[in-house]
Each structure stands twice: as C-alpha cells, then as structure tokens.
Amino acid sequence: MPEHTAQLATTGPRGAQVTAEALIAARFAARFVDVTGQTRALANLAGMRRARQRGRGVEFDEVRAYAAGDDVRAIDWRVTARSGTPHTKLFHEDREQPVLVAVDQRAPMKFGSTRCFKSVLAAHVGALTLWSGLQAGERIGGAVLGDLRLHDTRPKRSQHAVLNMIGDMVAEGTPNVSQSAPELTLGDLAQQLERIARPGSRIFLISDFHDLFEGDHLAPLRRLARKTQVVAVGIGDTLEAELPRAGYYAVTDGNSHSQLDTSLSGAREQYARDFLEHRDHTARRLRELRIPLLGISTHEDPLKQLLTVLPPR
C-alpha cells in the first residue's frame, strides 16, 4: 500500500450496530481504492487472468460482409437473407462496468469476538465498495439480504443509490434477540442478483458463506458468474477459527443459553481442523467458478485488506 494511503487508512469498524453515520463516512476512505480495477492478485485468486471488460459490447455500430474468423453469433440473418451473402454485425466496445454490492445481514452475521460484529464489517466493506464505484463514475447498486426480507437497488450513477443501500444495511444490521431463524438463503440473493445485473457487471458478494453448500445455492451463483465478474468477500472472526483456551464458557444465540467446555480432549484441535476444511472447501469451489475469495476478519482493517487485491487510486 502506498505510504500516503496507509497513513489515511482506517482502523476498521467497531461495535455491534450498523450505523448510517459510519457508512456515510466510509466515502473518505473509499477514495484510496479502485474497486473497478483489475490486478494480478485478484486474477490469481480467481485462478486465471481475467479481462476488465467481458464480451463484445452491446452498442450496435454497423453491418459489413462476413469475414473468416468473425463470431458466427453476430451474423445478421436478415441482411444475409436479403443480400444472399453472409453479413455480420459490428459493435462498439462497451466500456461501462456497473458495480453491484450484495451484503449478507442475516442472523449468523450478528456475531463477533473482537472489534465488531461480522454484520458491521460486511456493511462497512459494502459501503467502501459502493462509494469507490460511484467515485469511479460507474453505475452502482446491489442487494441486502436479511433473515426475512431481500432488498435491492437497481444500478444508478447516483449518490441516492448508495444512501438507499446504506438505509437497507442499517435496517437489517440491527441485532434482535427475538429474531427468528433465517428463511432467506444465499441462493435467494444470487437469484436476485441475476435479475438486476447486466452482463459485464462487477459484483462484490459479501458474506460468511455459511450456507454456500446447502441445497442448490451454487447453481444460481454459477449462472451469475458466467455473465458477470463476481468477487467474493468472506467475512470471518477469530473465534470461528480457534476456540478460546481451555475452560467453561457461557454461550447464547440470543434465544437459548448453554455452556461450552473447551477443555475436552481434542476439542480445540478438531474445531480448528473443521474450520480450515470448510474455508479451503469454500475457496476451492468458488475458484472452480472463477470467483476470487478475499477473506477479511473482524480484527482487520477492511481498506487495507481490499488494497491487497485491488489497485490503489
């Protein structure tokens, strides 16, 4: 990270509550990262080098006689039929790359053992990405996944789109001890993104991916990855990777209470192995879809972590 960027980097979000003030303030830090850029580090995470623009574009230019090597999918069959010789359509390259941000704010994200809840970190990363995309002159939008409701914002080149997303993240980022179990899934989020994302968009999918392998959630994500460039941001916490030292701990999910005994023989080792296995499996399956996975933990500075795979501005 350049020295001036490092000096201005934040120390990361704090607390258990997503607040509009913090997400609006993220626009200042967002000036130092380009979420529309492509880097070798990002391509390596995806398993290949990817071009910034996808496809041949969508703006029609002209029709000319077909030449060997032209894409047969671009043949203009009406002109071909009238003239009796093959003709193909030409297109201007579409330089626009809308940025969509999808943020998971379901109950499993309302957890954290250090500086903030995963839900707060996810919202902060989402806000950084939205502000950066807008500052790059792109249309921005996305979706916020709650336990019982899925909000979406259609891409616009407007600050109102960012503020609308911030409002949705604040609404769903409020911890609620009486909250019911999540009914919506990561698959529902991917299907909604399919409906609002145009080909060539860059999508930042921000979640802990706890239910990635449940049901058929990978199917809509696979379809989405075929027409857009998806970047997965995995939100985690140190307590998910390793149990605390041996002892008895009171634990609660907000509704029920129990005790956790971490002194049981092999418990901590097995817990750590299970976490690593799930993390590696998640990264491997996303890599198969050419989706890079960037992990950010609640004790880390999100701007610094984004700058490990995205170019500075």
CATH number, domain with residue 288: 3.40.50.410
Residues 68 and 161 in one domain: no
Question: What is the domain range of residue 68?
Answer: 59-92
Q: Which comes out higher in pLDDT, residue 215 or 221?
A: 221
Q: For residue 312, is it within any domain?
A: no
Any domain includes 19: yes
Contacts 24+ apart (CB under 8 A), 238-241: 238/113, 238/114, 238/297, 238/298, 238/299, 239/113, 240/275, 241/272, 241/275, 241/276
Q: Which residues pair with 90 in a beta bridge?
A: 62
Same domain, yes or no: 83 and 216: no
Residues 30 and 124 in one domain: yes
Burial class (CB in 10 A: 0-12, 13-18, 19+), 95: exposed
> Same domain, yes or no, for 66 and 26?
no
153 and 219 in a single domain? The answer is yes
- Quick check: is 34 in a domain? yes
Tokens of 35: 């979420």
In the chain, the number of structural domains is: 2
In a shared domain, residues 216 and 105:
yes
Indicate whether 204 belongs to any domain: yes
Average pLDDT, the chain: 87
- The pLDDT, as a whole number, for residue 254 is 67
Contact 38, 50 (CB under 8 A): yes
Other beta carbons less than 10 A from residue 275's beta carbon:
15
100 and 78: one domain? no
The average pLDDT across 266-277 equals 90
- Is 294:236 a contact under the CB 8 Å cutoff? no
Which one, of 192, 164, 186, 203, lies nearest residue 108 by Cα?
A: 186
Residues 67, 43 within the same domain: no
User: Is the pLDDT reported for residue 212 higher than 70?
Assistant: yes
The average pLDDT across 180-206 equals 91
Same-domain status, 159 and 299:
yes
What's the pLDDT band for 65 if we cut at 50, 70, 90? Answer: confident
Lowest mean pLDDT among 65-79, 143-157, 185-199, 224-238: 65-79
Q: Does residue 54 register a pLDDT over 60? A: no
φ and ψ at 195, to 5 degrees? Answer: -75, -30
CA atoms of 49 and 40, how far apart (whole Å): 7
Could you identify the residue written with the tokens 């109102």? 160
Q: Which of 38, 67, 92 is where one domain is finished?
A: 92
Same domain, 74 and 12: no
Spell 187-205 as b/e; 16+ CB within 10 A means b.
bbbbbbbeebbeebbbbbb
pLDDT higher at 157 or 87: 157
